[in-house]
Structure 1
Amino acid sequence: MNLYDTIQNRISVREYQNKNFDSMTLDKVKALLSHINPLYKDIEVRLELVHEDVKSAGMGFMNGYIKIQAPYCVAAISEKRDGYMENIGFIQEQAVLELTGMGIGSCWLGTFDNEVLRHLLKVNDNEVITNVIALGYPEEKSFRNDGLRKLLGSKRKKETEIAFYKEWGEDAAIFLDNKPLLRKILKASILAPSGGNKQPVCLVFTEDSVHFFVKNKKDNIVINPWAAIDAGIFISHFYFCCLEESIHINFYKDSSEEKFKIPSDTSYIISMKLDYKYD
């Protein structure tokens, strides 16, 4: 299964088999979680796999109003610094896609018992648990139910709603018509999950770069810091699809972000220079 197939087939698994990983699979999962590429290398992050203590800790994981009973979970623990939320989204979605390719199901969880987990995982005072992902082998009916949900809803925004050229509001269609590989990558990125399926990420293409933004403000005040996790997830899809296509990437911060004329409800995240010869 290639990356695009993995992205297409990824679902939020809400029902799991009561089955543990064998020792070889468990070792692979642990190795994967300990060797994840971050968006920002200067932010300390660790992904902790929890198994034996999930039930005894009584964490009562929930995703929205749906109770999740999974044999494992992965807690993301980060030092709290500028950019740590999008960094976590980038890291954990990378793990989710790798695990999906291994046949392991997952689900981003809406709530969890923070105090229980802090004690269980010995979280330091300068660290925060940003989120938790349920993990395990999916029940067959979970695939059926999620397929039905996809047919009934889970609509994705159109390319024209999120992708612009040179500045906000300028249609990127002609630019992308001439860059079919970038359009392919964009379509895979649009499939990235987001909290409440709100899909808050937008991007602006320039000739050799793509610039990422997230809608998270009201009256120039950030009212939804969690949207930065969604941004990290989206950027993860875009980045790893670029690597799949042998496009070399350099991340950077654009010091003249005002040139993009972004609206007041939107924050700039990061830019990505693309070293790639277009067709």
Structure 2
Amino acid sequence: MNLEKQIYIRKSCRKYLDEAIDMDLIHNFMKSVKPIINEIDYHYEILTRDEINVRNRWSAPYYLALYSEKKENYLMNIGFIFQQLCLYLQSIDIGTCWVGLDTPRNNTSEFVIPISFGRSNDMTRELSGFKRHNLSEISDFEDEKLIPAQLAPSAINSQPWYFKHTDDGFDVYQVKQNIFKRQILKKLNSIDVGIVLAHMYVANENTFEFKIKTSFDDIRGYTYVGSIKI
């Protein structure tokens, strides 16, 4: 199972087929996922379209409702864990999309965000089809090791990450959005940072390490979120 190659073809899927899926595929894969913060409890449930308040112009046959303890960095942790699942589902021809607006009809305080999923004929693209910042815009200097990060999905394609080189990897930062975007993206961008880190993990599975340092450079317009070794 090669999840890394899915990074280079995946697109957020909004067109689905009404076909049944063996949900054991999801449950079995989730036994092997890696969290980025081990001390945070999380869980998920699989819902049908009828069990979701859909606020988009499109819908899917199935949704993953994601839940978490509300501890520090829980949003990043959710993004990190479940982007691994999205890449896995892509590898077995199941499309996915992180959905910021929809909620379960039976909502709880631990609910974070849903992911739509289902079989699809519209879930891949060529590398040229990605609309992303240049590598030099997401780092202190252009580095092809960051291509997996460059291709990560984010809310309204905001790409809210910045990587500063260190001796063995990168210090990672999140963009401080303006007051208007902050109202919409504050929660979602923290999930996005987890998603981008999942891409770096999948592309460097044998060497990836994450830690939060007490000493780091302040960069105007960004907030430090952690450091990775790759």
Shorter-normalised TM range: 0.7 to 0.9
Q: 1:48 aligns with which of 35, 41, 45?
A: 45
Structure 1 counterpart of 2:61: 71
TM-score normalized by the length of structure 2: 0.88
Q: Which position in structure 2 is the counterpart of 1:132? A: 114
Higher CA-based Rg: 1
Matches of 2:30 and 2:115 in 1, distance apart?
12
Q: Secondary structure at the match of 2:68?
A: strand
What is the deviation of 1:108? 1.1
TM (norm. structure 1) is 0.73
**1:110 CA drift (Å):** 2.4
Of residues 248, 257, 262 in structure 1, which corresponds to 2:219? Answer: 262
Shift of 1:226: 2.2
Which structure carries more helix by proportion? Answer: 1
**Counterpart in the other structure of 2:71:** 81
Shift of 1:206: 1.1
- Secondary structure of the equivalent of 2:174? strand
Match of 2:175 in 1: 215
CA contact (8 A) 1:34 1:46 kept: no
Amino acid at match of 1:130: V
Once the two structures are superposed, what CA deviation does each residue of 1:93-133 show, in whole Å capped at 9, x if it has no partner? 1110011111111111121135x232xxxx4xxx5211101
Q: 1:17 corresponds to which residue?
A: 17
What's the counterpart of residue 212 of structure 2? Answer: 253
Which residue is equivalent to 2:53? 59
User: Retained in 2: the 8 A contact 1:33–1:47?
Assistant: no
Q: Flag the 1:77–1:2 CA change in 2: closer, same or farther, 3 A.
A: same
Give the AA of the match of 2:112: T
Greater relative contact order: 1 or 2 (C-alpha under 8 angstroms, separation 6 or more)? 2
Structure 2 CA distance for partners of 1:250 and 1:60, relative to 1, 3 Å: closer
| C-alpha displacement of 1:147 | 5.0
CA deviations over 1:207-241 (Å, ceiling 9, x no partner): 1131111013559xx76232111111001101110
Any stretches of 5+ residues in structure 2 without a counterpart? none
Measure how far apart 1:36 and its partner are: 2.3
Partner of 2:189: 227
CA offsets per residue over residues 128-185 of structure 1, 9 Å max, x none? Answer: 21110111100x3x35xx759x75xx52111111112xxxxxxx34xx4xxxxxx2x3
Amino acid at match of 1:270: G
Asked whether 1:97 is paired with 2:87, we answer: yes
1:32 aligns with 2:29: yes
Identity of aligned residues (%): 27
Equivalent residue number for residue 205 of structure 1: 165
User: Alignment partner of 1:42: what SS?
Assistant: coil
2:178 and 2:101 mapped to 1: Cα distance? 24
Distance (whole Å) between structure 2 residues aligned to residue 72 and residue 58 of structure 1: 9
SS at 2:19's partner residue? coil
SS at match of 1:117: coil
